[in-house]
Structure 1
Amino acid sequence: MDFESREVEGIRMRWGRSGDGPPVVFLHGIPTSPDLWRRVVSRLPEARCLAWEMVGYGASIPEGEGRDLSVAKQADYLVAWLREIGIDQAILVGHDLGGGVAQIAATRYPKRCSGLLLTNSICYDSWPIPSVVAMQKMRGLLPHVPERMLRKMIAMLFYRGHDQRDTGESALHVHWRHYSQNGAGLALARQVAGLSATDTLDVAPSLPNLDLPARVVWGAADQFQKIAYGERLARDLRAPLTRIEGGKHFTPEDHPDEVAQAVRALLKEQAGRSSASR
């Protein structure tokens, strides 16, 4: 992916881009960055893939200072960015926290969303997971914790969330550098401070009312976001569920083919709806 940035409502926002065609926006979670989607977007040359970086994450960690980094507010930032770059409507693809951002954007700004794909996403009351709750409780201390200890803590998340240890090692190398370069403890303290299941619980009743193409892709062995939540999302969204047996949390990195295939199915369904409405 190539990366661009632009000031949007006083915030420097950054995103990766790849391909050409209908817009598809990819939303990452914690503790990752837009590079989470690197193996997915490379498989979708037929789409205009835009991997947006959440405010206060990745290379945009400095932009989080003094700002609301809740999932609900990230949805507002996302829509402001879409408006700024001239995208009226896009398919939203979300993983982990990014899936929560996608749900909120789709329900609160339905005209902006032409399709929805959720993969091992936060939803309902599925989060924050225990390790994030622990960081929330000690967030005042996080800026003072030695970086090597924080790196070990994040490494364990990647090892538990990837199918194989070597893929966890690779992901740690890709995503940790942003924390290392921008004050890991302070960055994590900001990120976890505003995380609350209230944000997804508030929009949960609206999910069955969404009238848009949707897909759910889930690693069935995920210890962080259980498969039962993926099944519930599929029912509420009336969406096909791709169940990846043995797959864990970080599906975009471990199973890019399945995620890309689901995006392709959404693009096809979106095109069919557009043709039917003419």
Structure 2
Amino acid sequence: MISNTAIVDGITMRWEETGEGMPVILIHGIPTSPALWRHVAPQITRGRCLAWEMVGYGASIPEGRDRDISIGRQADYLVSWLKHLGIEQAIFVGHDLGGGVAQIAAVRNPGLCRGLFLTNAIGYDSWPIPSVKAMRMAGPLLRHLPNSAFKQVIRTFLQRGHANSARAEEALEAHWPHYREHDGAAAFVRQANSLNVQDTLAVAGDLPRLGIPARVVWGTADQFQKIEYGERFAQDLSTPLQRIEGGKHFTPEDHPGMIADGINQLVADVTATEIIADTRNDKDVASSL
């Protein structure tokens, strides 16, 4: 993937990009970065993948200082970035917090989101999870942890969310350097303090009315985002739930092939929907002549 940056509304925004075709926007969560999709994006054969970095996360941690980095505000940042790139329609793919960003952006901007893919995403009242709440409460002390100690906190968090211990260590090496280089524990505390469940509760009632192709793929053994929430998303989005038996939270890292397959299928669904709509429009024009 190719790394890119652009100044959007005074913010340096970063993303990783590969492929061609319909834009597929990949949105990560906490404590990750666009590298979450490193094994998924190369397997997406049907679209132009853009793995966007949330403001205040990853290499963009410095951009989050003294800015609102709540999930609701991230949706605004995402839309501004898409407008900057001239992208008028896209498929949104979200994991963890990124799933919340995708939902909010889709509800607030009808017509922008052509398809929605959620995997072990936040939503409704499913978050912040207890461990993040505990770290938020301990923020005044946690923010002063030396990097050597805080790295172990992140390692434990990732290990709990991965079904594959080797992938958990790989994930640590992918995501930890951003904390090490930018504020350490203080950056995580800033991220945790920004979380407000009202952001997703405000759009929950609108999900059934989106009326767009959707896919929900969920690790059944996720301790952070329970399978019951995946079932609720599937019902509200009128799509079958694809279960990853024994899968935990970080599905894009543990099960990249299954995630990529689901995204490719969603792109195909969206494309088929557009072809049907174009055909109907052609018939309507012909009948009026």
TM-score between both structures, scaled by the size of structure 1: 0.98
CA distance in 2, matches of 1:45, 1:17: 13
Q: What residue in structure 1 maps to residue 87 of structure 2?
A: 87
Contact kept, 8 Å, 2:143 with 2:189, in 1: the verdict is yes
- After superposition, give the CA deviation of every residue in 1:126-149 in whole Å (9 maximum; x if it has no partner): 110111101211223333111122
Q: What residue in structure 2 maps to residue 258 of structure 1?
A: 258
- After superposition, give the CA deviation of every residue in 1:102-137 in whole Å (9 maximum; x if it has no partner): 010111112110000000000111110111101211
CA distance in 2, matches of 1:240, 1:105: 22
Q: What residue in structure 1 maps to residue 160 of structure 2?
A: 160
TM-aligned CA deviation for residue 39 of structure 1: 0.7
Secondary structure of residue in 2 paired with 1:217 = strand
Q: What residue in structure 2 maps to residue 11 of structure 1?
A: 11
Residue identity in the other structure for 1:155: R
CA RMSD, aligned part only?
0.9
CA distance in 2, matches of 1:216, 1:89: 20
CA distance in 2, matches of 1:243, 1:167: 20
Structure 1, unaligned stretches of length 5 or more? Answer: none
Q: What residue in structure 1 maps to residue 42 of structure 2?
A: 42
Secondary structure of residue in 1 paired with 2:139 = coil
Aligned residues: 278
Please tell me whether residue 246 in structure 1 is matched to residue 246 in structure 2: yes
CA distance in 1, matches of 2:12, 2:94: 21
Runs of 4+ with deviation above 6 angstroms:
none
Contact kept, 8 Å, 2:46 with 2:268, in 1: the verdict is no
TM-score between both structures, scaled by the size of structure 2: 0.95
Please tell me whether residue 193 in structure 1 is matched to residue 193 in structure 2: yes
Residue identity in the other structure for 1:160: R
In percent, how many aligned pairs have the same letter?
56
CA distance in 1, matches of 2:114, 2:123: 20
Q: For 1:19-58, what aligned pairs fall within 5 Å after superposition?
A: 19-58=19-58
Q: Which segment drifts farther, 11-20 or 134-143?
A: 134-143
Secondary structure of residue in 1 paired with 2:116 = strand
Q: Which segment drifts farther, 265-274 or 79-88?
A: 265-274
Q: What residue in structure 2 maps to residue 277 of structure 1?
A: 277
Q: What residue in structure 2 maps to residue 219 of structure 1?
A: 219
Q: What residue in structure 2 maps to residue 136 of structure 1?
A: 136
Q: What residue in structure 2 maps to residue 202 of structure 1?
A: 202
TM-aligned CA deviation for residue 262 of structure 1: 1.0
